Amino acid sequence: MVGLVWQWVLLKSYNSKLGILLESYKKELNSTLKLCLPIIVAQVGSVLMGVSNSVMVGKLGSAALAAAGVTNAIYILFVVVGMGTLSTIAPMVATAIGANDREKCGILFRTSIEVAFLLTLVLTACLFIIAENFEIFGHPEEVTAISKNYLRILSVSTFPFMIFIAAKQFSDGLSYTKPAVFITIIGVLVNVFLNWLLIYGHWNCPKLGIMGSGIATMSARAVMAFLMLGFIISNRDLRKYVPKFSDNINTMKYIKRVFKVGIPSGLQLFFEIGAFTAAAIVVGRIGIEESAAHQIGITLAAIATMIATGISVAASIRVGNALGQKDIHKVKLAGNSALILAVACMIITGTILIGFTEDLVKLFNNTDTELIKVAVSVLLIAGFFQLSDGIQVVSLGILRGVADVNVPTIYTLVAYWGVGLPVGYLLGFYYNMGVVGIWLGLLIGLSSSAILLVARFYRITSEANYKKLFDVVNIEQQG
């Protein structure tokens, strides 16, 4: 009888603890989801600009689509370094506003614009050099000629794009996240409309082909930058933080801080996207259809990745808040919840890509049977690597939330460039699997990154190490 009573007590206790645990996860999942939804919308909106370009340029033929694919890949490869660097502005502004330091917020606004300008100078110079030497990639002459001019136009759009990102980061840091969503949607609509006018020559406009797409993108980004700055200056609550042009402000210390903290985050993106860019260049040597198929796969996979990126940003905020409270249980709860949410979302996106491969491919081109056949094979692999991609993207955000950026950067370098690309090259060329082999290599690289990064999170938050983590944070805050 006593034994039965004891078992009943243990069962009630277990159920009670399980109920509390489940309730904690439910609350954390809701908080993370609420935080990440506006970010996801803005991220997907940004990618839709590239998707709309690919879809509308795809009607011009495989050569134009291949040129758009490799050019956009190279452009994004460099621009993400700037985006990653500027991503440090929002948390710095949030810290300043938390300390009620209005003057520092104004300094950070000017710092963000100056950093955006400096990044533009470097990135534009690099992109123009690549455009002038595009032949080194060994693509067909037709693709190379189109790509050179297209990259030159995209390079010019870097300045308004960096200004938009800088202003968005400042606004996000002050908890005004929704304006960027609406402005991004406006930018996408402007881009689609101008694409329609300039690519095909509607309404008596010149028929510029892929060059028209570049001009449309540049114009849309200029509109986005203008609207984002206009919102900050016109908003009563935000403009009080904006310093006057005549104010003599020394921003050098803050510029150095932004570059010091932001560059590792930019490099993480650089190594990942760089692997896909290198793959695009290698695939371009196989053939035009294969290069176009690679572009279709990358474009569709990028939309799903933006969902994971939104969760990643929210995870870094939630984990960072828990770390600031020095509550290791909340750190783990926030990290685990973000991973659970990522797994659920990426299973859904992977299922969509696998279940509707041919329908999705035909959105880009429904006439070239060889292109459709190759693209379907690529998209199937993209569907399977959604899970690995989502886990590794969110893991990077979690680790960024606990101020761990250097080791994850090394992990991404090893996973993509030490594992993914070599395996892909081996399968693609030595085993004659072509573009499918290269994508299998990317799948292996993403999976390696996911395993390394998740293991890293659990190791540094283990009972043996988490106190060291708090010590490091204390030192950084004092510094």
For the chain, the structural domain boundaries read: 46-264, 286-479
Write the secondary structure of 193-259 as one string of H (helix), E (strand) and C (coil).
HHHHHHHHCHHHCCCCCHHHHHHHHHHHHHHHHHHHHHHHHHCHHHHCCCCCCCCCCCCHHHHHHHH
> Average model confidence (pLDDT) for the chain?
80
pLDDT band at 477 (very low <50, low <70, confident <90, very high): very low
The answer, yes or no, to whether residue 326 has pLDDT greater than 90, is: no
Average pLDDT over residues 312-327: 74
Each residue's pLDDT tens digit, 249-264: 777 888 888 887 778 8
Average pLDDT over residues 62-85: 79
The answer, yes or no, to whether residue 358 has pLDDT greater than 60, is: yes
Most confident of 20-29, 138-147, 375-384: 375-384
Average pLDDT over residues 385-407: 84
Top-confidence residue, 47 or 36: 36
pLDDT for the residue numbered 302? 76
**Which of 217-231, 325-339, 408-422 shows the lowest mean pLDDT across its residues?**
325-339
Top-confidence residue, 99 or 437: 437
Top-confidence residue, 238 or 472: 238
The answer, yes or no, to whether residue 17 has pLDDT greater than 60, is: no
pLDDT for the residue numbered 465? 63
Each residue's pLDDT tens digit, 263-302: 887 888 788 777 877 887 788 777 777 777 887 887 788 7
Top-confidence residue, 326 or 308: 308
The answer, yes or no, to whether residue 136 has pLDDT greater than 80, is: no
